[in-house]
């Protein structure tokens, strides 16, 4: 299976299924792990980096879950292919940067992926559609348990799993929820909600995680630290706070429908009309308009599109996906033309 084959299938996190999938797009659990008596990736010499990479690939092939998975050497991927994997949330923008002994291991269903020699030796990631953090944790834990039988982990009885970044030390667990909050944004409640969330120990980031800005009213919410708390406590805390955010978004949507019905309907159909008729459109404008359309689908204003179809448009209109679909390099102006063409055909 090559990267082009991924264009023919739906990513797990885009399926639009699972609890509260009208608001929560996806749930992700990531585990940071390092090998015992090995320097962290950024400090390791080339020979050690290669040794670490080969050990992890061999271990993954020996597990039941990852046996026969796809393995990509980052140095062998084009810039477009790297960004394609970032857009599908299979690896981080940081991992896409040059590195001779970096690799990505992923199962064909795009549920589990492992970044090798990113900040840590391993970043084990499991993703699920909707508000399904516990299931993502179950899968990640299963893979982690299998790998731990093959690899010696760097672990301290006092501090837990040792990681390159102190905030990951302990469980090494980072739970993350991608959430769509247009009603809270439209009603100007979002700043208050996000500030309160940060005070409760959660980070709020943009669509592609750390270092990215929120766009299309899409936010990633995750725990700040993992030291001193169990995996169950971390996940329970994220789920408890996220339920409050979901409740606030649902309440804001009801108010929009009752008190601002005509205004929100107008906003939705203006977005729909622009996307249906545009022949040139940028990525930034597309995400903003798709956000309004997704809200329209969830409120029953738009009936000829599904949640999954809109979710997919968020991704296939990104720069690397457009170039993979076209099979060649596209400059910014060509991408704007291709993006508009794809959208028109999808929402006819």
41-71: pLDDT as tens digits: 989 999 999 999 999 999 999 999 998 899 9
Name the phi and psi angles at 18, rounded to 5: 95, 170
pLDDT at 205: 79
> Is the confidence at residue 208, as pLDDT, over 80?
no
Shared domain check, 278 and 175: no
> Is the confidence at residue 210, as pLDDT, over 70?
no
Render pLDDT for 2-46 as a digit per residue (tens, 0 to 9). 888 898 888 888 899 999 999 999 999 999 999 999 999 989 999
Q: Could you count the other beta carbons within 10 Å of the beta carbon of residue 5?
A: 10
> Is the confidence at residue 283, as pLDDT, over 90?
yes
pLDDT at 212: 46
> Is the confidence at residue 209, as pLDDT, over 70?
no
pLDDT at 5: 87
Render pLDDT for 217-252 as a digit per residue (tens, 0 to 9). 999 999 987 777 899 999 999 999 999 999 999 999
Q: For the chain, what percent of residues have pLDDT higher than 70?
A: 97
> Is the confidence at residue 216, as pLDDT, over 90?
no
* DSSP class of 170: B
Q: What number is the average pLDDT over the span 276-305?
A: 96
Shared domain check, 303 and 214: no
Shared domain check, 195 and 312: no
Shared domain check, 176 and 56: yes
Last residue of a domain, one of 253, 274, 298: 253
pLDDT at 211: 46
Q: For the chain, what percent of residues have pLDDT higher than 90?
A: 84
Shared domain check, 264 and 175: no
Q: What number is the average pLDDT over the span 113-126?
A: 97
First to last CA, the chain: 32
Shared domain check, 266 and 227: no
Shared domain check, 294 and 164: no
The answer to whether 217 and 181 have CB atoms below 8 angstroms apart is yes
Residue 159: C-alpha distances to residues 91, 227, 258, 300 (Å): 27, 7, 52, 50
pLDDT at 214: 60
Shared domain check, 313 and 228: no
Query: Could you tell me the pTM of the whole model?
Result: 0.92
> Across all residues in the chain, what is the average pLDDT?
93
Shared domain check, 334 and 285: yes
Shared domain check, 308 and 249: no
> Is the confidence at residue 340, as pLDDT, over 70?
yes
pLDDT at 280: 98
> Is the confidence at residue 167, as pLDDT, over 60?
yes
Within 13 Å, how many C-alpha atoms sit on residue 273's CB side?
Answer: 6
Last residue of a domain, one of 205, 234, 253: 253
Shared domain check, 290 and 187: no
pLDDT at 204: 86
Name the phi and psi angles at 226, rounded to 5: -125, -5
What is the number of domains present in the chain? 2
- Domain holding 240: CATH number? 3.30.590.10
Last residue of a domain, one of 253, 279, 303: 253
Handedness of CA 333, 338, 339, 343 (dihedral sign): positive
Shared domain check, 234 and 164: yes
* Structural domain for 20, as ranges: 3-253
Dist. CA 172–CA 30, nearest whole Å: 8
Residue 1 confidence class, pLDDT cut points 50, 70, 90: low
pLDDT at 261: 93
């Amino acid at each position: 299976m090559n990267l082009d084959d991924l264009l023919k299938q739906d990513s797990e996190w885009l399926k639009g299924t699972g609890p509260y999938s009208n608001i929560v797009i996806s749930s992700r659990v990531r585990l940071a792990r390092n090998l015992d008596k090995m320097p962290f990736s950024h400090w390791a010499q080339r020979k050690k980096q290669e040794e670490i990479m080969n050990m992890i690939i061999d271990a993954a092939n020996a597990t039941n879950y990852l046996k026969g998975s796809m393995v990509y050497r980052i140095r062998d991927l084009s810039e477009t292919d790297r960004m394609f994997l970032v857009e599908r949330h299979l690896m981080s923008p940081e991992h896409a940067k040059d590195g001779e002994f970096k690799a990505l291991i992923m199962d064909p269903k795009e549920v589990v992926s492992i970044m090798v020699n990113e900040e840590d030796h391993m970043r084990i990631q499991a993703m699920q559609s909707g508000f399904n953090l516990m299931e993502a944790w179950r899968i990640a834990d299963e893979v982690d348990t299998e790998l731990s039988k093959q690899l010696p982990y760097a672990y301290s009885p006092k501090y837990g799993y040792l990681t390159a970044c102190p905030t990951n030390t302990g469980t090494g667990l980072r739970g993350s929820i991608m959430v769509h909050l247009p009603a809270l944004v439209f009603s100007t409640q979002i700043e208050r909600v996000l500030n309160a969330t940060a005070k409760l120990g959660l980070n709020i980031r943009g669509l592609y995680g750390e270092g990215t800005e929120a766009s299309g009213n899409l936010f990633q919410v995750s725990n700040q630290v993992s030291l001193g708390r169990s995996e169950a406590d971390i996940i329970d805390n994220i789920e408890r706070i996220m339920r409050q955010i979901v409740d606030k978004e649902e309440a804001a949507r009801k108010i929009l429908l009752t008190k601002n019905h005509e205004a929100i309907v107008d906003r939705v159909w203006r977005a729909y009309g622009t996307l249906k008729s545009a022949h040139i459109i940028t990525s930034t404008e597309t995400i903003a308009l798709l956000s309004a359309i997704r809200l329209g689908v969830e409120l029953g204003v738009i009936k000829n599109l599904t949640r999954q179809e809109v979710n997919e448009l968020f991704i296939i209109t990104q720069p690397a996906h457009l170039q993979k679909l076209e099979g060649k390099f596209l400059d910014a102006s060509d991408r704007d033309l291709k993006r508009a063409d794809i959208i028109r055909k999808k929402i006819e």
